[in-house]
Structure 1
Amino acid sequence: MTAPDTPRKSAAPDGVPAIDVSALPNYAFGHRSLLWWGTFGLIAIEGTVFALTVVAYFYLRSRAPQWPLNGVPPALLWGTVNTLVMLVSLVPNQWAKRAAEAHRLREVRIALVICMAFSFAFLGVRVLEFQSLNVRWDTDAYGSIVWLLLGLHTVHLLTDTYDSGVLTVLMFTGPLEGRRMADVNENAVYWYFVVLSWLAIYAVIYVAPRVHG
């Protein structure tokens, strides 16, 4: 797959100079794409949901005699492992993004497969994370808000894993339209949001309960 052609100068039937734009693509990268604006609109909405949940977390903390209410913060191991997994996943994610912008199909395929492996690894460790929170979702207010935060992020991860899986299949089966490269590019942008939001949620779930005052 190669980059799209550039416009060609031609002449209209009446001899007036014109530009032939029939070879121009029906897609674009970055802010020139409607998909880019849609992705950032989605990020704004989901980021607001995360922010409201974090505010609720600290409101509940301000009203509690101790935090966590049972006095036992979540274990650090699996949450920290997942943080490392997410940070390393940025490497193949950026590779997929740059390869898509350059229309390098083979590299896009390889990078997406690696990204999918990271997504499944993260989901597997996430199961262990839920088991190491040291509180049930229905135990008290602390348990409910922690499970909600972790659950919201898990939903976002599942959504992106599904989208990435569909794109990966399309890269191998087709149709290999140029706009699929724009889809890969925007999917990579959304993954950056998933990682960045996780860093904030990690700090709230794992660091905040260990900071007193």
Structure 2
Amino acid sequence: MSAMTPAGTTPYYYIPQPSQHPVMMAFGLLLVIYGAGQWVNGAGWAAWVLLAGLVVWLGVMYRWFSEAIHESESGLYSDRIDVSFRWSMSWFIFSEVMFFAAFFGALYWARVHALPMLGNLEHQLLWPDFKAIWPSAGGGVTASPAGTVEPFQTMGPWPLPTINTALLLTSGITLTIAHHALLAGNRGKTIAWMWITVLLGATFLVVQGYEYVHAYRDLNLKLSSGIFGSTFFMLTGFHGFHVFVGMLMLLFITLRLMKGHFTPKRHFGFEGAAWYWHFVDVVWLGLYFLVYWL
């Protein structure tokens, strides 16, 4: 226990005091999810609930990160803690892999199983005008026999998604350059390349925001545009949220670098953020191919 460790020495395994941060973080995320769900379903007041949840979430995250950084810089983290952080980050990224696997699985099931089944002979007796094609905007928009889905156009890979692909791939390269500079002890070069990486991530979000405006305004492609619209916005939207979170991680790491934190031998905070960012890059490549091209 850390309480039994003499002052000025690193404990074998640091155990912090009981904290309110986990429950407050869960409360903030509850507000975010509830507000977002109600806002999507037309409740105007839910936007304020979503905003309140984001404020709580960001506030708790700032305090929690600040305390962890203080503990690290105070010499309370030993090699055992470093191993724990590595395992924790690995399992966290694995849970994110399963999260996106569920949405990719929904896209696969709709295209390969549900759509052909709805177009078979048995269902033709119920919906004679139904066309079992993907996406449901084709075939004279007859993929919605009840008229519940408005006509829409799909989002192609050019130019916005391809631009975003180039931005994310480039950011992965700049992040790797920054990592090698940190390993070489060149802090100034590390900081410069980290700022470039953060800027590329922010640019990605701006381009995606413009893409959404274009989809709603010019293509009439909405979350309510059948299974295509729902899978498109759920996959790209959640990925955009992960880009936002990853960009915040990289921003905090860059600010810590400017304060003199991290050394060539001890910098898992940097490595953990880099792992997450590369995971976001890989997910986007799959999304870019399966959603925009196929």
CA gap 1:41/1:140 in 2 versus in 1, 3 angstroms? same
Q: Which ranges in structure 2 are unaligned for 5 or more consecutive residues?
A: 1-74, 116-131, 139-152
Partner of 2:84: 34
Partner of 2:194: 112
| Mapping of residues 58-77 of structure 1, within 5 Å | 58-61=108-111, 62-64=113-115, 65-71=132-138, 72-76=153-157, 77=159
CA gap 1:180/1:87 in 2 versus in 1, 3 angstroms? same
Structure 2 residue corresponding to 1:79, chosen from 134, 158, 161: 161
CA drift of 1:34 comes to 2.8
Per-residue CA deviations over 1:28-49 (Å, capped at 9, x if unaligned) read: 6xxx733222222111111111
Distance 1:98 1:104 in 2: 9
Per-residue CA deviations over 1:168-200 (Å, capped at 9, x if unaligned) read: 1222235x2548732112211221111111000
Structure 1 residue corresponding to 2:210, chosen from 116, 119, 128: 128
Q: Which ranges in structure 1 are unaligned for 5 or more consecutive residues?
A: 1-23, 209-213
Normalization by structure 2: what TM-score?
0.56
Distance 2:162 2:91 in 1: 29
Distance 2:259 2:229 in 1: 44
Amino acid at match of 2:114: R
Task: Determine if contact 1:75/1:132 at 8 Å carries over to the other structure.
Answer: no
Instruction: Tell me the SS of whatever aligns to 2:105.
Output: helix
Task: Determine if contact 2:223/2:229 at 8 Å carries over to the other structure.
Answer: yes
Instruction: Tell me the SS of whatever aligns to 1:33.
Output: helix
Per-residue CA deviations over 1:58-96 (Å, capped at 9, x if unaligned) read: 212232322111124312210111001111112211012
Distance 2:252 2:78 in 1: 19
Q: Aligned pair 1:53/2:135, yes or no? A: no
Amino acid at match of 1:98: H
CA gap 1:102/1:27 in 2 versus in 1, 3 angstroms? farther
| Mapping of residues 52-201 of structure 1, within 5 Å | 52-61=102-111, 62-64=113-115, 65-71=132-138, 72-76=153-157, 77-133=159-215, 134=219, 135-174=221-260, 176-178=261-263, 181-201=267-287
CA gap 1:57/1:130 in 2 versus in 1, 3 angstroms? same
Distance 2:246 2:168 in 1: 13
CA gap 1:127/1:27 in 2 versus in 1, 3 angstroms? farther
Task: Determine if contact 1:109/1:168 at 8 Å carries over to the other structure.
Answer: yes
Task: Determine if contact 2:156/2:293 at 8 Å carries over to the other structure.
Answer: no
Distance 2:76 2:189 in 1: 21
Instruction: Tell me the SS of whatever aligns to 2:136.
Output: coil
CA gap 1:106/1:155 in 2 versus in 1, 3 angstroms? same
Task: Determine if contact 2:191/2:258 at 8 Å carries over to the other structure.
Answer: yes
CA drift of 1:100 comes to 2.7
Task: Determine if contact 1:96/1:185 at 8 Å carries over to the other structure.
Answer: no
Structure 1 outlier segments of 4+, above 6 Å: none
Q: Which has the higher contact order (CA 8 A, sep 6+)?
A: 1
Number of aligned positions between the proteins: 181
Amino acid at match of 1:150: T
CA gap 1:117/1:99 in 2 versus in 1, 3 angstroms? same
Please, what is the CA RMSD of the aligned residues? 2.3
Normalization by structure 1: what TM-score?
0.76
CA drift of 1:26 comes to 4.8
Distance 2:250 2:208 in 1: 18
